[in-house]
Amino acid sequence: MSIPDATRIAHTVASLLGARRTSSTLAMLAPPYAPASLEEAFTVQREVTRQLGAPIGGWKVGYAPGVRLTHAPIYRDACLANDASVHLPYAEAPAVEGEVAFVLGRDLPVRDTSYSDEEIAAAVDEVCAAIEVGAPRLRNFMEAPIEHKIADNMGNGALIRGSGTRAWRAIDLAALRVRVEIDGRVVTDLVGGNSAGDPFNALVALANAPHRREPLQAGQTVISGTCTGLYPGHAGNEVKVVFEGLGEARMTLV
């Protein structure tokens, strides 16, 4: 006998909320109840947000043109200023990565017609260096199906917004050199690295995403996908991400 969709969604929402509220992790989403489609996964994501009552301070995007678009809210209390000390409650080691962040100065409501690149660019107030800290509620997150990852807000734990510029249109965002340092040791130094090519493409894809139900709002920060890959972090680590010609972000894990 098949389990009704609403029952499966409610079970998964309750499991993820329980993990958040008890600062624990799940081995996996229970197979009979786990979302069976992207639409169900985004429904879980939205319902978790609704039941938490958490204001959205930003968004994370993963975009590979012609392959896949993923996105998830980042709650306001997880959007942190530069030089933040980040405490994550889960026992597993978090991951850190460098990303290009877009700070919105205007709303981009959901609408029936697609936004043009120029309309979206005009809504950007500033582009900054950022660090995303991954702290999924799923212990097998990297091996989990994409539907599970989306349901778990793509594993986001925190966003640290660093310095940047309002004159971002003069910068070739696709060819930025980026360096990650952990405790003063360079762990990566490369050019480019974003699966979207130009990170701005990820913002365009989010603004026009078919599964988006919430508006993008002025003041929110959108991170556009890793440019560096993921690196494990541990308590006491000091992390710095530098995008040459754009800015830098810094944080400490505690």
Q: How far apart are CA 205 and CA 73, in angstroms?
A: 15
Sign of the four-CA dihedral 71, 73, 78, 79: positive
What's the pTM?
A: 0.95
Phi, psi values for residue 154, rounded to 5°: 55, 25
Domains of the chain: 56-253 (3.90.850.10)
pLDDT of residue 51: 97
pLDDT of residue 91: 55
Phi, psi values for residue 201, rounded to 5°: -60, -35
Measured over all CA atoms, what is the biggest interatomic distance in the chain, rounded to whole angstroms?
59
From first to last of its 254 residues, the chain has per-residue pLDDT tens of 578 889 999 999 999 999 999 989 998 898 889 998 999 999 999 999 999 999 999 999 999 998 999 999 999 999 999 999 998 876 567 999 999 999 999 999 999 999 999 999 999 999 999 999 999 999 889 999 999 999 999 999 999 999 999 999 999 999 999 999 999 999 999 999 999 999 999 999 999 998 888 899 999 999 999 999 999 999 999 999 999 999 999 999 98
Q: Which residues contact 182 (CB under 8 A, 6 or more apart)?
A: 96, 231, 233, 237, 238, 239
Q: Could you say which DSSP state residue 108 is in?
A: B
DSSP of 190-213, one letter per residue? EE---TTSSHHHHHHHHHT-TT--
Q: How far apart are CA 50 and CA 231, in angstroms?
A: 31
